Structure 1
């Protein structure tokens, strides 16, 4: 079945293995445009971080990908992640309230439960960061989950159905606004706002690094994207270096 297009920058797919994969295909075929968004009602092999699978009930949740031209150096990739996470968080706050936070590095949490995640994949040629595919998954109207540690959906919090397509358009718009602001105004304002909305900021947490269990305090995230923790002595962690123990 051919995809439905609602406009030049929006593609609706009844079903697809992964919207990120579909977006990557468009890039490799030379069909990408900045802001082009691919959404599906049924993602059969959704991607999470480090090879994990994002499982979702068909039609109940939000699975989509936004293609962007970053206009940044690849070394600044955390800036795009921060701009995206802040945009998603700000739109979810309108539904869930101010207990919606960004859990470093790429998740959205309501209280201590996961409501969404972000996966950004890049196309780099030579030294140029040509394209980024921003994959976003949000638990919207699903109420029963299997095999997930601590999920929560918008419906479970509010008791109400949310229009998935309307939410997708709102998030897409805010993500693209933040991307434009990042390119035109720099990272400082987004960086400050990101840290203010950080999950467990200035609170004690337990992290696991290999066999080591670390009891520490979250002080923030630095501009390189490292989690900064510590009480008397600060310690910084890269993406994938530690696991949260919740």
Structure 2
């Protein structure tokens, strides 16, 4: 048992959601929570299931990049959704990122917290969290949507290749994060935003867009690995989850998150 292992009874006592996290599974160690959840049989899992591990040995980010996390220090978990919809999944990912941004600003109102396209959260201009969304199909039917979150909570040292690029809540605030309390507050925010997303609430998109790094500014773009010569004004995400920009000629262009990278510096 890890000395700083996640206290499930404390988490359960504090959780106030209707459905998200009410079915909660803790594992001391897993290769990847997303991979674990994807392999479960349909009858073993329900809408709102959350799987968390204290030691994610082979965490994955977008494009199969590794997500390294110190055991017992952070929050590495996956959430299961069964929306009955087959589109707009990236908007839901961004809504989950928005919930995280809002909670970081609850901790420290002066904090600079933003969503970095397509699926990271920045805290004082350094990466504090990443999200990974994957779908599981049974034949042609969507069985579950899995959204994994890796959040740097209490980790204080990083590999040299991440120096100056990654941070944690503890490094930014100087205070230890009680992970059980943080997660029990975060899940109700995500549950609420999920319901807004399901109803295609336009106000949710506006809030997401205002928190995307570079929103309303002229930015650079890399499309399919090739940097564009011109600048574009970032207008935000549309209902289908595509990033919309304004070009210099006044025309609108949109891109899927797989195609595009936003360059703000």
What is the TM-score normalised by the length of structure 2?
A: 0.82
Q: Residue 30 of structure 1: SS of its match in structure 2? A: helix
State the alpha-carbon separation in 1 of the partners of residues 206 and 235 from structure 2: 13
Q: Which residue of 2 aligns with 1:35?
A: 48
1:230 to 246, 251, 254: 246
Contact 2:133 2:148 in 1 (8 A): yes
Query: Per-residue deviation at 1:20?
Result: 0.9
- How many equivalent residue pairs? 242
Structure 1 residues 127, 25: closer, same or farther in 2, change over 3 A? Answer: closer
Residue 16 (1) aligns with residue 30 (2): yes
**Greater mean alpha carbon deviation, residues 228-237 or residues 151-160:** 228-237
Map of 1:79-228 to 2, 5 A cutoff? 79-97=91-109, 99-146=112-159, 147-148=161-162, 150-183=165-198, 185-209=199-223, 210-214=225-229, 215-228=231-244
Query: In structure 2, how many angstroms separate the alpha carbons of the residues matched to 1:153 and 1:33?
Result: 31
Alpha-carbon shift at residue 162 of structure 1 (Å): 0.6
Judged with a 3 Å threshold, the aligned counterparts in structure 2 of structure 1 residues 188 and 126 are, in CA distance, closer, same or farther, namely farther
State the superposition RMSD in angstroms: 2.4
CA distance in 2, matches of 1:38, 1:52: 21
Alpha-carbon distance between aligned partners in 2 of 1:19 and 1:167, rounded to the nearest angstrom: 19
Helix, strand or coil for the counterpart of 1:118?
A: strand
Q: More deviation in 127-136 or 39-48?
A: 127-136
- From 53, 59, 71, give the equivalent of 1:58: 71
